Amino acid sequence: MVHPEPVPMYLRAAFCLVLLLMLVSAVAAPLPNQSPDRTEGTVNCASSTCHGSITPLEGSDVLQNEYTTWLRLDRHTQAYAVLLNERSRSIAHKLGLKTPAHTTQLCLDCHSHAPPPSRRGKRHVLTEGVGCEGCHGPAEKWLAGHAEEGASHARNLSQGLYPTERPAAQARLCLSCHFGDDSRFVSHRLMGAGHPRLSFEVKTFTSLEPAHFRIDADYRKRKGNPEALKVWAVGQAVAVTHLLETLTDPKRGRQGPFPELVLFDCYSCHHPMSEKRWSPRLGVGPGALRLNDSNLLMLRAIVRAVLPGQSASFDAEVHALHLAVATGEAPPGMDYLDLARALTQRIKDLIPALERQHYGPEVMRRVLVALVEESRQSSFTDYAGAEQAYMAITSLVNDLVPRSVAVDKAALRGAMSRLLDVLADDEHYQPAVFQAALEDLRGLLHAPAP
């Protein structure tokens, strides 16, 4: 009888690691508001020897003044307070809420960290707004051990720390409040009552939020290199999946006989009839409702720059969805919902490739060229698309310019501020002026012609 060779120890260990990695990547971590664990309260993080130091501590992996930065500078500390202001009172009144905004779960879902009461520890308070555990996940299982000798990031993650350092997970977290998901959402009804339009881009907003972490050699060793363009690209893909999943969700996709209106370009309805602003766009004819495709346009540019082999078929799928939404035309046996579901799956399959990609200066240039090309196809005729393009271009220019010596910085500032000027008035946005400024910018950066 032949005995099988025993599998060497190192291979078995490696195989276990593969299994573990597959598990970690296959099962998306629950968002902080949906975690089964108990939230312990920001006060637990605030001691000066933990995260409440006044200045960054030398010789520590992390800054340890995260709480101080958050408390003094981060707008998330105000998220609850805005529920007490006049605008919130008016929103609550117009919606006919039975309780004031600051005690209504609908509002607290995003303006605080408000898990179900059974999962709130004694020291957790709602009034602090979006605190540490609202992003890093309830600390029940990792609080005691995460600063011990022998603690590791992997162990913290297995104990419920949310993986904020992974681009797709971070995007899902931010977008769950800054766009909404199946657990919280700002519908057109809320906007009609006066809630501001939500406009978001992960990379830009991460830079806007005063950073309580420092990306240095030690950070990269522990968590990898968070390339700015990767955070942007993955963020766009995740944003599109949020939009399409809302469109196809029978609970949220409709409002009476109409689809949920926040999924469409606001200004396709909200402008005076005397302003004849229609122009040909992505094959959608006049008088039709246009999907808010601002993130889809970014994603088209990303696919063209990063995965050129997939670009033609991706564009075709996007185009088919647009047509189906605007006119009802779809391939036999399908409707716009089938097309939206297929596109969602395709984008989910793309995300790992976007996460693996290295985004060096050459890729940055290609993305910039692809964005200019989008504008030549008159894609940025809607304000929201132009706004997304501007946020992308700002990040690209900030990252590219230090590397390209030859650029005329004064002229570049001029072109950037012209772009911004066009966006100052969302209700009277002029696409042609935006495109002209974009062409100037491309010339300045010597991007090769597409």
Q: Is 181 helix (H, G, I), strand (E, B) or coil?
A: strand
Please choose, from the candidates 212, 178, 157, 147, the residue with its C-alpha nearest in 3D space to the C-alpha of residue 30. Answer: 157
Residue 444 interacts with ligand HEC (CB under 6 A)?
no
Q: Which of 35, 39, 44, 164 binds ligand HEC (CB under 6 A)?
A: 164
Q: Which is nearer to ligand HEC, 40 or 374 (CB)?
A: 40
Binding window for ligand HEC (CB under 6 A); candidates: 257-265, 280-288, 417-425, 434-442: 257-265
Structure-block tokens of residue 89: 């009172």
Q: Which of 29, 35, 70, 281 binds ligand HEC (CB under 6 A)?
A: 70
End-to-end CA distance of the chain: 67
Residue 145 interacts with ligand HEC (CB under 6 A)?
no
Please choose, from the candidates 189, 199, 197, the residue with its C-alpha nearest in 3D space to the C-alpha of residue 92. Answer: 189
Q: Which is nearer to ligand HEC, 161 or 441 (CB)?
A: 161
Q: Which of 39, 44, 268, 357 binds ligand HEC (CB under 6 A)?
A: 268
Residue 120 interacts with ligand HEC (CB under 6 A)?
no
Q: Is 410 helix (H, G, I), strand (E, B) or coil?
A: helix
The CA distance from 154 to 12, in Å, is: 19
The CA distance from 75 to 129, in Å, is: 9
The CA distance from 149 to 195, in Å, is: 47
The CA distance from 264 to 255, in Å, is: 13
Please choose, from the candidates 188, 331, 202, the residue with its C-alpha nearest in 3D space to the C-alpha of residue 246. Answer: 188
Q: Which is nearer to ligand HEC, 44 or 437 (CB)?
A: 44
Structure-block tokens of residue 111: 């303006």
Q: Which of 29, 168, 173, 284 binds ligand HEC (CB under 6 A)?
A: 173
CB of 269 to ligand HEC, least distance (A): 3
Structure-block tokens of residue 235: 């963020």
Q: Yes or no: say if 303 and 310 are a contact pair by the CB < 8 Å rule.
A: yes
Residue 337 interacts with ligand HEC (CB under 6 A)?
no
Residue 212 interacts with ligand HEC (CB under 6 A)?
yes
Residue 317 interacts with ligand HEC (CB under 6 A)?
no
- Residues in contact with ligand HEC by the rule CB under 6 A: 42, 45, 51, 62, 66-67, 70, 75-76, 78-79, 82-83, 87-88, 91-92, 95, 101, 106-107, 109-111, 113, 130-132, 134-136, 164-165, 170, 173-174, 176-178, 180, 184-186, 188, 190-192, 195-198, 205-206, 208-209, 212-213, 219, 223, 261-262, 264, 266, 268-270, 289
